[in-house]
Chain A
Amino acid sequence: METFIQQIINGLVLGSVYALVALGYTMVYGIINLINFAHGDVLMVGALTSWTVVVAMAGLGLPGWLLLLISLVAAIVVCSILNFAIEKIAYRPLRNAPRLAPLITAIGMSLLLQTLAMIIWKPNYKSYPILLPSEPFHIGGAVINTVQIMILVTTAITLAGLMYLVNRTKLGRAMRATAENPRVAGLMGVRPDTVISATFVIGAALAALAGVMYAANYGSVQHTMGFLPGLKAFTAAVFGGIGNLAGAMVGGVLLGLIESLGAGYIGMLTGGVLGSHYQDIFAFIVLILVLTLRPQGLLGERVADRA
């Protein structure tokens, strides 16, 4: 029972990170039908920026939570500018090009960001300092620490805020209209280019937040750290129904739960034949099952084939 509650907690924390990153994927995909391969690397840049700020300001004697907040703001600013520039340089000129062209520039961007990060920050693993008190709280035999509580609370607030932004504000309405049909949205007085830029900036801010939380939780940062969360988050977005915000959130959290429960119990279920290092394949097995049984994703609507 303790294992169960513990794995649920771990799964929720992991799922929160996935959900935040998945939102970035799903918003971009919903509007311009592009798998933004570089999104996971934006997360990595966020985490590394935050690490740099924390290490640089460590001597000032600021309290840990303030340091974390400052570094988070820095990461959000850097990532927003970065993603804004990426869209302008690599995706916008190719908006009417063959479908695979922007995908290749996205893959190229991902590679470029990783390489530049390797040059700027050197390729070794860097340990992320512990900034929040680390005494664990006990819940029914399972433990949860301050960082994990912070992750859950921040994610919940952010998701609520994003839902408000998309469903209640003028920008949100413009985003939904552009996703529906950019040309008609343009006729209604929406500027698709501005909306697309705004989408990339919001996605980058979410990725930066996820990156800082990921680094704070796992305690290490490196230039390839964005790859797996990025891949999983995209899986989560497809799982929930790509282009659907609520779907990305549900998909992210569910995927986190499936992964951590799977990793916790696979050894027991198979009598030790398969160990927890098979954690990474659960996501993809789930994905293949979902796509076979319910191709539109959990919350997605049926979309006409536009192949």
Chain B
Amino acid sequence: MNVKDNKVAVFIAAGIGLVLLPLVAQYFGNAWVRIIDIALLYVLLALGLNIVVGYAGLLDLGYVAFYAVGAYMFGLLGSSQLTDTFQTFKDMFPNGLHTPWWIVIPLGALLAAGAGVLLGAPTLKLRGDYLAIVTLGFGEIVRVFMNNLDAPVNITNGPKGIASIDDMNIFGLDLGKTHSLFGFDIPKVTNYYFLFLFLVIFAVIICYRLERSRIGRAWMAIREDEVAAKAMGINTRNLKLLAFGMGATFGGISGAMFATFQGFISPESFSLQESTMIVAMVVLGGLGHLPGVIVGALLLSALPEVLRYVAGPLQQMTDGRLDASILRQLLIAVAMIGIMLARPRGLWPSPEHGKDITPDSLPVDPHAHLTPAEQIPPTVTSIVPTVK
């Protein structure tokens, strides 16, 4: 069996494993499938942020704003929120606004991308740290607006959030209902698992192709040295905007998915902590390296959830001071510091080109087989006075 066959076999095995995973997890309870679903959403978010931070080297601390834009887009257009508020809408759509996903998702992606470009345009000529703080501020502005746009006109329903958002309905297949296939019951969480899995694979392919494209190489050139990249004829402004917009698109789509999966959104889900968590996933896993980013996202999103099930006794032992959510925060904080100290370039960083030459692999001395008399004398580097 040659290497290529081996690779194909690994791919097939991984594929079968990924298809069977939710069916096995389902056996232990739908909560486990749910954890996997959320983890996949985070993978999608981390892949999007990786384009901005990992490839183009632009630190975005308000990424969750784009996530929120997508989520609210789906929430507003796929629930009764707008028809409850505006009588004219109510007259136009007496049954509530149930816009199909193939309109909402592109709209959400477009809006998020537009927000990304709008935010990026004035700030991208600045130094990296300023960009970080402006994006952070933008994230907060979006959250404050979501929180307060319930008065005087109720658009976002404020801190109470938007409830009963539609499920996805893909050409007649309602993902919100349990379907039965070959005698297997496939509940909602598993339906969404396959949807998210498809999106993640699609995103990985896009990122993989981008990384190797002219655009991807230009991004990395900008990341390494912007002045040099400019000198090589790269249009740095447009490419940075493109990275920003592309990352925002991923965020918008994940947000829409989150809205329909949860069926409920509120500003609480889009706090700054969420943004920093996504940045942490990307950096922890390995900036700009796809497998690393995926590992980082899975680790930070799924591991603490698993922990939730073992934390019960701990809470009793410590008189309620340490409950699952506190323990989870503690673990994430310690992991962030510890992993960065031990591996500053991330858990699984991209291989560094040209740095793997160790002294052992240097060519051996070509004259070693000659007797000392035949060898060319070494060049004189210093003269030591000999004392007689």
Closest Cβ of chain B to A36, distance in Å, is 12
Q: Which of B34-42, B124-132, B262-270, B304-312 contacts A (4 or more CB under 8 A)?
A: B124-132
CA distance A101 to B57 in the complex (A): 13
* In the complex, B345 has a CB within 8 A of chain A: yes
On whether A100 and B134 interact (CB within 8 A), knowing A108-B340, A231-B140, A305-B127, the answer reads no
On whether A115 and B333 interact (CB within 8 A), knowing A291-B130, A292-B123, A306-B127, the answer reads yes
Contact A101 B340 (CB under 8 A): yes
Chain B residues with CB under 8 Å of A112's CB are 330, 333-334, 337
* In the complex, A187 has a CB within 8 A of chain B: no
Chain B residues with CB under 8 Å of A107's CB are 276, 279-280, 336
Chain B residues with CB under 8 Å of A227's CB are 272
Q: Which of A134-142, A152-160, A207-215, A281-289 contacts B (4 or more CB under 8 A)?
A: A281-289
* In the complex, A129 has a CB within 8 A of chain B: no
- Tell me how many residue pairs across A and B have CB atoms closer than 8 Å: 136
Contact B148 A115 (CB under 8 A): no
CA distance A130 to B148 in the complex (A): 32
* In the complex, A278 has a CB within 8 A of chain B: yes
Cβ-defined partner of A119 (8 Å) among B125, B129, B141, B322: B322
On whether A278 and B148 interact (CB within 8 A), knowing A98-B344, A108-B336, A235-B137, the answer reads yes
Contact A288 B123 (CB under 8 A): yes
Instruction: Tell me the B115-150 residues at the A interface (CB within 8 Å).
Output: 122-123, 125-130, 132-134, 136-138, 140-141, 144-145, 147-148
* Contact indicator per residue, chain A 89-109, by CB within 8 Å of chain B (1) or not (0): 110011001111111110111
Instruction: Tell me the B350-380 residues at the A interface (CB within 8 Å).
Output: none
On whether A119 and B337 interact (CB within 8 A), knowing A278-B144, A287-B133, A305-B227, the answer reads no
* Contact indicator per residue, chain B 212-223, by CB within 8 Å of chain A (1) or not (0): 000000000000
CA distance A99 to B223 in the complex (A): 12
Contact B336 A295 (CB under 8 A): no
* In the complex, A56 has a CB within 8 A of chain B: no
* In the complex, B321 has a CB within 8 A of chain A: yes
CA distance A234 to B329 in the complex (A): 24
* Contact indicator per residue, chain B 324-345, by CB within 8 Å of chain A (1) or not (0): 0010011011111100110011
Chain B residues with CB under 8 Å of A234's CB are 133
A-B contacts besides A101-B283, A307-B225, 14 pairs, CB < 8 Å: A94-B340, A99-B128, A103-B59, A108-B337, A111-B332, A111-B336, A119-B321, A119-B322, A234-B133, A275-B151, A285-B141, A291-B130, A295-B126, A305-B127
Instruction: Tell me the B9-49 residues at the A interface (CB within 8 Å).
Output: none
For the residues of A in contact with B, the DSSP-based class is helix
* In the complex, A118 has a CB within 8 A of chain B: yes
28 A-B pairs whose Cβ atoms sit less than 8 Å apart in the complex: A97-B345, A100-B287, A101-B344, A101-B345, A105-B340, A107-B336, A108-B333, A108-B334, A111-B333, A112-B334, A115-B326, A116-B330, A119-B322, A231-B136, A273-B152, A277-B148, A280-B140, A284-B134, A287-B133, A287-B137, A288-B123, A288-B134, A295-B125, A303-B127, A306-B127, A307-B127, A307-B128, A307-B227
Chain B residues with CB under 8 Å of A116's CB are 330
Chain B residues with CB under 8 Å of A111's CB are 273, 276, 329, 332-333, 336
On whether A98 and B287 interact (CB within 8 A), knowing A119-B321, A119-B326, the answer reads yes
Chain B residues with CB under 8 Å of A90's CB are 337, 341
Closest Cβ of chain A to B240, distance in Å, is 10
Contact A307 B337 (CB under 8 A): no
Chain B residues with CB under 8 Å of A277's CB are 144, 147-148
Closest partner residue, chain B, to A297 (CB atom)? B130
Binding site for A on B (CB under 8 A): 53, 57, 59, 122-123, 125-130, 132-134, 136-138, 140-141, 144-145, 147-148, 151-152, 225-227, 272-273, 276, 279-280, 283-284, 287, 321-322, 326, 329-330, 332-337, 340-341, 344-345
Closest partner residue, chain B, to A120 (CB atom)? B321
* In the complex, A238 has a CB within 8 A of chain B: yes
On whether A281 and B141 interact (CB within 8 A), knowing A119-B322, A122-B321, A287-B134, the answer reads yes
Interface residue total, chain A, C-beta cutoff 8 A: 52
* In the complex, A272 has a CB within 8 A of chain B: yes
* In the complex, A35 has a CB within 8 A of chain B: yes
Of all A-B residue pairs in the complex, the 3 with the closest CB atoms, nearest first, are A108-B336, A284-B137, A97-B344
CA distance A235 to B129 in the complex (A): 11
Contact A235 B283 (CB under 8 A): no
Contact B137 A283 (CB under 8 A): yes
CA distance A103 to B131 in the complex (A): 14
On whether A94 and B341 interact (CB within 8 A), knowing A281-B141, A284-B141, the answer reads yes
CA distance A273 to B155 in the complex (A): 13
On whether A104 and B340 interact (CB within 8 A), knowing A112-B330, A307-B226, the answer reads yes
| Most A C-beta atoms less than 10 A away, residue of B122, B144, B145, B340 | B340
Chain A residues with CB under 8 Å of B332's CB are 108, 111
Cβ-defined partner of B140 (8 Å) among A89, A101, A275, A284: A284
